[in-house]
Amino acid sequence: MLKSTAIAFTISIGLASAALAECNFEGETITIVVPFGEGGGTSQTFGFFQPYLQKYLPGSPLIQMLNVPGGGSMKGANQFHNNQVVDGTYLLATSTSTVLNQAAGNPLVEYDLGAYKPVALIESNVHWFTSPTVSATAYDLGPLKERSLNLFALNSPSSADMFHVWIINKLGLDNARPIPGLSSSNGYQAFLRGEIQLSSHGTANYLRQVKQGIDAGEITDLMTLGWIQPDGSIERVPYAPDTPTFAEQFETMTGAPLSDDDLDTYMAINAIWNQASKALFLPTETSDEIVQCWTNAFAKIVKDADFIAEAPNRLGPFPLIIGDDARPVMARATSLSDGVVDQLNTALKANGLSYRIER
């Protein structure tokens, strides 16, 4: 069932126990390993949480970010894995690429996100749009299907960008071609110059940049990836309630709803790209008491008046997924079935891309 829902910034939380955990980080320094460079999206996201964590973790510890870029986040994540400290002072922040490297079975991955203790997932979404010169009517994919050529950015087929290929392929836009090596930000600039016809952005950049162009009639909105609910239903994103989801557009273009391997692939993509867009983990052997200290802190953060005021513009309007509620999401995100792998590899091959997910 597809629904449109308006929400305030809220929380989805699973705790092992209702009792208040006893721990104290007074005088401690908390290190959050960020496997990306300074100034990137993951650093910005968890940098936003820094003062709130210092305020609500027992003992008001110092919170520091340790940036370890390299290998598409594998260098930093592997470093975390091989140096785990279980006293609650050492955590790993991840992004989509960290999850996908594990899910795709990259042989350089030593870390195991499924084994760690999830603290919080911060959801996002993906928006696709085109130019009014290509499709003058919002949400109308027909003119793109009729064109002889549609170009879109593809930074790397081994990254989450491969999902663009599958999405576009499943909509029957056989005339769409990726431009490898073109990042999302550079692709957006190329789109504004009229050099490519399809572009996309995540929630934050959509709200900061794209929505203004849509409201001004300079950009034609097409769809979002869709917002998965705990019961598995797909809803429209709350800040764009008129914009159809990929699932809706798939049914419009094919005459049938997503099902079987198509649905499984969509759910896996959504888990990796949206639900686990940014995540925070404690090491595997961390005690339940320390995990609860962290989840309790996040439960307090989302009730903080300043956080409530700032978070929608900094993080988007989606609820945080905290504690045990994050486990099924991570299980979906890190374990791709053979059917899903076949679907993604077929789309890569159809677009002339040599990268394959190996099994």
CATH number, domain with residue 158 = 3.40.190.10
The verdict on 213 and 345 lying in the same domain is yes
The verdict on 175 and 49 lying in the same domain is no
Residue 267 in any domain: the answer is no
Each residue's pLDDT tens digit, 222-252: 999 999 998 999 999 999 999 999 999 999 9
Residue 130 in any domain: the answer is yes
Residue 31 in any domain: the answer is yes
The verdict on 344 and 289 lying in the same domain is no
Each residue's pLDDT tens digit, 167-208: 999 999 999 999 999 988 899 999 999 999 999 998 888 988
The verdict on 66 and 81 lying in the same domain is yes
SS3 state of residue 96: helix
Cα 4 from Cα 234, distance rounded (Å)? 10
Q: Which residue has the higher pLDDT, 87 or 316?
A: 87
Q: Domains in the chain: how many in total?
A: 2
Cα 110 from Cα 133, distance rounded (Å)? 47
pLDDT of residue 183: 86
The verdict on 46 and 151 lying in the same domain is no
Domain ranges, residue 214: 126-262+338-350
Answer whether residue 41 shows pLDDT above 50.
yes
User: At 69, which CATH number?
Assistant: 3.40.190.150
The verdict on 174 and 236 lying in the same domain is yes
Q: Are strands 126-130 and 220-224 parallel, antiparallel or unpaired?
A: antiparallel
pLDDT of residue 2: 42
Task: Tell me what the mean pLDDT of segment 307-312 comes to.
Answer: 94
pLDDT of residue 6: 36
Containing 98, the helix (H) or strand (E) segment is: helix 96-103
Residue 357 in any domain: the answer is no
Choose the weakest-confidence range: 3-7, 8-12, 308-312. Answer: 3-7
The verdict on 114 and 231 lying in the same domain is no
Residue 5 in any domain: the answer is no
Each residue's pLDDT tens digit, 75-118: 999 999 999 999 999 999 999 999 999 999 999 999 999 999 99
Residue 303 in any domain: the answer is yes
pLDDT of residue 143: 96
pTM for this one?
Answer: 0.86
Residues in the chain: 359
261-279 burial: b if 16+ Cβ within 10 Å, else e: ebebbbbbbbbbbbbbbbb
The verdict on 190 and 302 lying in the same domain is no
Task: Tell me what the mean pLDDT of segment 114-139 comes to.
Answer: 97
Residue 356 in any domain: the answer is no
Q: What is the CA radius of gyration of the chain?
A: 20
The verdict on 343 and 213 lying in the same domain is yes
pLDDT of residue 208: 84
Nearest one of 75, 29, 87, 69 to 53, comparing CA atoms: 29
Residue 41 in any domain: the answer is yes
The verdict on 70 and 164 lying in the same domain is no
The verdict on 239 and 181 lying in the same domain is yes
pLDDT band at 21 (very low <50, low <70, confident <90, very high): low
The verdict on 213 and 346 lying in the same domain is yes
